[in-house]
Amino acid sequence: MKILKDTYVIILAGGIGSRFWPISRKSKPKQFIDILGTGKTLLQEAYERYTKIVEKENIYVITNESYSSLVSEQLPQLDERQILGEPMGKNTAACVAYAAYKISEKDKNGVLIIAPSDHLIQDNTTFIHQVHTAQKYAQKNDALVTLGLKPHRPDTGYGYIQYDEQEVSKGVNKVVTFTEKPPLELAEKFLESGDFLWNSGMFVWSASSILKALNDHLPELSLTFAEGRGAYNTDIEKKHIERIYSEIPSISIDNGLLEKADNVYVLPSDFGWSDLGTWKSVQEELTTENDNTVLNVDLEAINSVNNLVVSDKKKLVVVKDLDGYFIVDTDDALLICKVNQEQEVKKIASEMAKKYKGMYS
């Protein structure tokens, strides 16, 4: 498919990835790690994906400024002006507003694609087609468009989008409601109803539409970023961003805007997507060997099945009489926990950071 003109990709790469402790650390979160053993980090995979959609100079990465050097190291083809360093994490609404004001000063007719850096997409052909459809609709309409994924199970780790089944344009449907990470019973009902999708966190909208929506639903945040007009894309941008971030609240784009707006649309999609949010999701994507899953490990499994064994350096690991465990090994930390406790890893990482005064964070 052709490269989209007047279109800009904003790759979000600021998370700390604590659910992948101890491999993922604050100093090098999961987006900067080859978490699937492909030979490329998740950030590098994301960048390559979007070079097939927009011109390379129209790809930006927004991250905590402490990770800017990591971005440069892993994506040396980026100009430093394509790396947007945040002085502190203020959630996704801040990322969206920063990008929207910056791009709108560069190209008032620009369309923005907001893209997480740490997701897996297996069917790139279908994905690219869906992005083209979303971009075309967003370019011609005052619409906030998201890509929704058909749910395969009642997962409580995802947000859900309810949509009107009558299309407003080919492949595009009106969003009825957003629900953030429901309890299992509700997720099961969503799956049964057939009109709910997983929220992928990928969005497409024109700069003018998102700026209008920010003004309508997050006026204080929008006004603060608007005060930086004239500084974006200049040598004094960083100074203004430091001031802006010190003044704005921390809020997600979902809660702050998308749940309130009445011009939100979704493309029901299925392109082999995973947000790779937990070790369990990684286990599902890796090849099983002798009823266990390994990464960077020579495994000797004695009466052991359904385990995920991961190491940050190639080594021999022997397990005996274990069923359904995560075993994640690094130079200075080892995690062993039951597969059904995957949601506890973030809590464990936090507790270890406090107990050992940040030594293992």
Domains of the chain: which residue ranges?
7-274, 279-355
Q: Which residue has the tokens 């490329």?
A: 40
Does residue 290 carry a pLDDT above 90? no
Residues 46-53: what's their mean pLDDT? 98
Residue 156: the pLDDT is: 83
Give the number of other CB atoms < 10 A from CB of residue 241.
22
Q: Are strands 144-149 and 288-289 parallel, antiparallel or unpaired?
A: unpaired
At residue 356's C-alpha, the angle toward residues 351 and 357, to 5°, is 95
Residue 180: the pLDDT is: 81
Instruction: Provide the 3-class DSSP secondary structure of residue 69.
Output: helix
The dihedral region occupied by 296, where left means phi > 0, alpha psi between -120 and 50, and beta the remainder, is left
Low-confidence winner among 41-45, 155-159, 162-166, 351-355 (lowest mean pLDDT):
155-159
pLDDT tens digit sequence for 237-285: 999 999 999 999 999 999 999 999 999 999 999 999 998 988 988 999 9
Give the number of other CB atoms < 10 A from CB of residue 89.
15
Question: What superfamily does domain 7-274 belong to in CATH?
Answer: Spore Coat Polysaccharide Biosynthesis Protein SpsA; Chain A (3.90.550.10)
Say if CB 130 and CB 121 are below 8 A apart: no
> Which has more pLDDT, 188 or 358?
188
Does residue 300 carry a pLDDT above 90? yes
pLDDT tens digit sequence for 24-34: 999 999 999 99
Residue 277: the pLDDT is: 86
- Chain-centroid distance of CA 358 in Å reads 25
pTM for this model (two decimals): 0.94
Say if CB 325 and CB 339 are below 8 A apart: yes
Residue 153: the pLDDT is: 87
Number of alpha helices (DSSP H) and beta strands (DSSP E) in the chain = 11, 16
- Residues 6 or more apart in contact with residue 57 via CB below 8 angstroms: 79, 82
